[in-house]
Chains A and B, each alone.
Chain A
Amino acid sequence: MTNQYLRTRTSAILFLVILFLVPLLFPMPLPAPSHWAVRSYGASASEFSSTNSSINKAFLAVQSAEKSGGNVTGLVKNLNVAVDLIQKAQAENATNPSQATSDLQEANALASEVLSNSSSVASAGISHSRNVFTESVTAAIGILIVSSLVYIYGDRVYRQLWLQVFRNHLVRREEAR
């Protein structure tokens, strides 16, 4: 009776151990309920939104740098590459998600680069505008001074020059025949 009881008990424990171990040794995927979110490895909508936001921010910095008189051609070129990368990523997200993610990262990096460079372009623009302003105003003042001098002394200078040029010029009266 005791032996039989022990045998039964051992068998039961062994059965439970095997029952516990089988799923560990041979894991089977459980079917996911339809309402569970399935992890996608492509770029998400928030990643696209974030990259678009970075590009918009960089563009506003470029526009501001241009208003300061900066040459933004290089910045615009780089930012257009980022814009094209976003459009490419949108097109390929369903078919090649890893490439789409990579393109978005590159677009983000370009937008950040443009954003950081736009401040130096703006500074250069302000400096250039200041130089142009100084040159123009100096030239205008110079013109006004020269014109005033010409008005005051022009007549006298002209007569003296005339005298220098025609100093040796002899005027002879033609004798009447």
Chain B
Amino acid sequence: MMNKDTSAIALVLVTLLLLFIALQPILPANNEKFSELGILGPNQTISNYPTTVVKGQTISLYGYVGNHEGQVEFYKVVVKLGNNATVVSNSTAANAPEMASYSHILENNQSWTFPVSLMVETPGTNLRIIFELWALNSTTSDYSYLGLWNQLWLNVTAK
């Protein structure tokens, strides 16, 4: 048979466990908040990315966005055409012409895969199709660059 101290400790442990279960719904979640951005190939896989296309040829890809921010988010994927001199980083969006943009609202823990259809009209080598993730900022009521970007290197031939 347990002595009094052991039973008291067991009682405290069981009480703490039950208190944790009871208060779980109102305890603030302590998850890491982040968003995801990805570019998929024409088969919705991370393969078969085009490397050389003819000018005016349609480039078919898929974009992927995931929301783990702990709240609903209004995302915008901005596609830009840059070259090897274009500067883009986690803090600065590319200063390059915009080719297309795709917008969608995602709840927490939801993801969105969408078709991307692009066309480059000017031939060139070492061109970069840059994908940037932006989201509507509730404070400024404007889109803010989230610092997430991806790129696809491309050579565009005249014929």
Give the size category of A's interface with B.
20 to 34
Q: Name B72's contact: one of A63, A132, A136, A154 (CB within 8 Å).
A: A63
A110 → B minimal CB distance (Å): 12
**If A60-B141, A83-B103 touch, does A66 touch B72 (CB 8 Å cutoff)?**
yes
Q: Is the CB of A132 within 8 A of B25?
A: yes
Q: Is the CB of B71 within 8 A of A76?
A: no
The interface bits of chain B over 68-80 (1 if a CB of A lies within 8 angstroms of the residue's CB, else 0) are: 0001101000000
Q: Is the CB of A63 within 8 A of B11?
A: no
Residues of B within 8 A of A (CB-CB), count: 26
Q: Is the CB of A59 within 8 A of B74?
A: yes
Q: Name B15's contact: one of A57, A67, A143 (CB within 8 Å).
A: A143
Q: Is the CB of B107 within 8 A of A72?
A: yes
A151 contacts the other chain (Cβ, under 8 Å)? yes
**If A80-B105, A155-B4 touch, does A67 touch B19 (CB 8 Å cutoff)?**
no
A65 → B minimal CB distance (Å): 9
Q: Which of A87, A140, A150 has the most B CB atoms < 10 Å from its CB?
A: A140
Q: A150–B10 Cα gap in the complex (Å)?
A: 12
| Contact residues, A29-66 vs B (CB, 8 A) | 56-57, 59-60, 62-64, 66
| Contact residues, B96-112 vs A (CB, 8 A) | 102-107
Q: A144–B20 Cα gap in the complex (Å)?
A: 12
B58 → A minimal CB distance (Å): 14
Point out the residues of chain B lying under 8 angstroms from A64, CB to CB: 138
**If A59-B136, A72-B107, A79-B105 touch, does A140 touch B19 (CB 8 Å cutoff)?**
yes
Point out the residues of chain A lying under 8 angstroms from B138, CB to CB: 60, 63-64
A residues within 8 Å of B by Cβ? 56-57, 59-60, 62-64, 66-67, 72-73, 76, 79-80, 83, 86-87, 132-133, 135-137, 139-140, 143-144, 147, 150-151, 154-155
B residues within 8 Å of A by Cβ? 4, 7-8, 11-12, 14-15, 18-19, 22-26, 71-72, 74, 102-107, 136, 138, 141
- 11 residue pairs bridging A and B, Cβ less than 8 Å apart: A56-B136, A59-B72, A60-B136, A60-B138, A66-B72, A76-B107, A79-B105, A83-B103, A136-B22, A136-B26, A140-B19
